[in-house]
Amino acid sequence: MLFDRLDRYITRNVLGAMLVVQVMVLGLDLVITYINDLGDVSGGYTALDVLIYLIMRLPWRFYEYAPVAVLIGALVGLGSMASSNELTVMRAAGRSLGRILLGVLKPLVLVILVTMAIGEFVGPQTEQYAEAWRLEQSEGADAVLSHRGGWQREGDDFYRFGTIRADDTLINVTRYHFDGQRLVDATQAARAVWDGKAWTLEDVRITHFGDNGTRAETLPSETWKTDMTPAQLNRLLRPLDSQPMTSLWAYANYLEGQGQEATQPLLYFWQKSLLPVTLAGLVLLAASFVFGPLRTVAAGTRIFYGVIVGLTFKYLQDLLGPASVLFGFSPSLAVAVPTAACYLLGFWLLRRTG
């Protein structure tokens, strides 16, 4: 019964600290971003619209800042108990270090479930809606949802897409059709409209390339025969980091089926799918700071070291991601290596306590 109460006490302290840190980080991010985005106010896009847009993005920002909140929250929660000698009393009462760590990991299960649900089902939808809403407020009802554009290959056809609107209408579609190594024709369309079953190209200009020279023709519309759906094109034209795991996996399989590299979508997929393991590693690292060599230093110093380690972890992942593209190793390693480093450092520091 005593140990059950201790577990609940540890859970309450650690989970409360994580929530407080998350709220503070989100609030600080909201204020800083709001001040920065006030420079975008113009026409029908007011300062109130900027605030509404940022509030709609809060679920996705919650997901992005979850590792920071978990690391610093665990440091604060355990550090406060260490400063008041509560952890010392627990161990004197027969509570082992492993049982204390297990009590710290219990609230993490709830955090992981909430974070993964937001990242998979809530954040991508609110992020997409917020971006579409902002562009429509600032540029009108015909605003585009993406300005990235993108290239896509399908068989012997190579496509260049300009933008995609919130209603899944493609703007500025260019298709290059090859027969082996020879360019057969180039098609340019002002837009492509999806009717629920097929695409229709509008305002079409086709240039044919033959042995006798080139020939151009103009058509008001033409049926676009393709296996690409609006969902696939949304994956292509929208930022990969804000897409759910299911979309990333489907897009990676599609690219591999076309004989193309799928490193980027796989990188984000592994980052999201291994997030529970990453969060557990960060909690272990935070515990090692409290029970290890930093147990006698001030709480502010532990938090400072925690922030440094968190930033190092993030930058290491950011560096290994492009490196996986450049050197051709698996994107899963780019995610697993920093996470493994957290576990190794955490276990090493905890081992020094013995």
| 315-331 residue pLDDT tens | 887 788 778 877 878 88
User: Are residues 179 and 297 both part of a single domain?
Assistant: no
Which of residues 229, 244, 275 is at a domain's end?
A: 229
Domain boundary among 174, 203, 229: 229
For residues 123 and 12, state if they share a domain: yes
Residue 257 lies in a domain: no
**How many C-beta neighbours within 10 Å does residue 305 have?**
17
**Paired tokens of 339:** 């996470």
345 in any annotated domain: yes
pLDDT score recorded for residue 184: 93
pLDDT in tens, 230-250: 888 888 888 888 899 999 998
Read off φ and ψ for residue 192, nearest 5 degrees: -130, 130
Assess whether 6 and 115 both reside in one domain. yes
Question: What are the pLDDT digits (tens) for 285-304?
Answer: 888 888 876 667 776 777 77
Q: Are residues 113 and 189 in the same domain?
A: no
Q: Are residues 10 and 117 in the same domain?
A: yes
- Do residues 253 and 183 lie in contact, with contact meaning Cβ atoms separated by under 8 Å? no
Average pLDDT over residues 12-31: 95
Rg value, the chain, Cα: 26
Q: Is the model's pLDDT at 306 over the cut of 80? A: no
Whole-prediction pTM value? 0.83
Quick check: is 117 in a domain? yes
- The residue among 294, 304, 299 whose CA lies nearest residue 346 is 294
Which pLDDT tens digit goes with each residue over 329-352? Answer: 888 888 899 899 989 988 988 887
Calculate the average pLDDT of the chain: 87
What is residue 177's predicted lDDT score, i.e. its pLDDT? 93
Percent of the chain residues topping a pLDDT of 70? 94
Q: Quick one: 133 and 163 in the same domain?
A: no
Give the separation between CA 93 and CA 189, rounded to whole angstroms: 75
* C-beta separation of 186 from 175 below 8 A: yes
How far is it, in rounded angstroms, from Cα 252 to Cα 221? 32
Asked whether residue 283 falls in the same domain as residue 212, the answer is no
Q: Is residue 250 part of a domain?
A: no
Model confidence at 229: pLDDT above 50: yes
Same domain as 45, residue 163: no
Cβ neighbours of residue 76 under 8 Å, at least 6 residues apart? 17, 20, 21, 299, 303
Would you say residue 99 lies in a domain? yes
DSSP string, 255-316: HHHTT---HHHHHHHHHHHTHHHHHHHHHHHHHHHHHSTTTTS-HHHHHHHHHHHHHHHHHH
User: Are 69 and 14 part of one and the same domain?
Assistant: yes
| Cα within 13 Å of Cα(116), Cβ side | 19
Determine phi and psi for 322, rounding to 5 degrees: -60, -30
The residue among 138, 144, 135, 148 whose CA lies nearest residue 167 is 144
What is the pLDDT, as a whole number, of residue 110?
93
CA atoms of 175 and 206, how far apart (whole Å): 9
In a domain, 254, yes or no: no
Query: What's the pLDDT at 116?
Result: 96
Asked whether residue 164 is assigned to any structural domain, the reply reads yes
Q: Tell which of 212, 229, 246 closes a domain.
A: 229
62 with 211, same domain: the answer is no
Residue 236: inside a domain: no
The answer to whether residues 149 and 135 touch, using CB atoms and an 8 Å cutoff, is no
Q: Could you tell me if 324 and 345 lie in one domain?
A: yes
pLDDT at 190: 92
The DSSP code for 115 is: H
Do 8 and 88 belong to one domain? yes
For the chain, what is the domain count?
2
Give the model's pLDDT for residue 207. 95
Residue 180 pLDDT level (bands cut at 50, 70, 90)? confident
Contacts with 44 (C-beta within 8 Å, 6 or more apart), sequence order: 137, 138
Interstrand relation of 150-154 and 170-179 (parallel, antiparallel or unpaired): unpaired
**Domain extent at residue 36:** 2-139+266-351
156 secondary structure, DSSP code: T
Q: pLDDT (tens digit, 9 = 90+) per residue, 149-173?
A: 678 888 889 999 987 776 788 888 9
pLDDT digits (tens, 9 = 90+) for 259-284: 888 888 998 999 999 999 999 999 99
CA 349 to chain centroid, in Å, comes to: 30
In the prediction, which pLDDT does 33 show?
96
In the block, residue with structure tokens 């298709």:
175
Q: Of 50-59, 100-109, 298-307, 336-345, which has the strongest mean pLDDT?
A: 50-59
Instruction: Grade residue 2 by pLDDT with cuts at 50, 70 and 90.
Output: very low
**Predicted pLDDT of residue 31:** 97
Task: Tell me the pLDDT band of 25, cut-offs 50, 70 and 90.
Answer: very high
DSSP state of 38: G
Look at the block and give the residue holding tokens 């939808």.
125
- Token couple for 200: 């229709």
What are 313's two structure tokens? 């972890």
Q: Is the pLDDT of residue 32 over 90?
A: yes
Two tokens, residue 318: 């950011």
Q: How many Cα neighbours within 13 Å face the side chain of 46?
A: 3
- In this prediction, residues 22-31 reach a mean pLDDT of 96
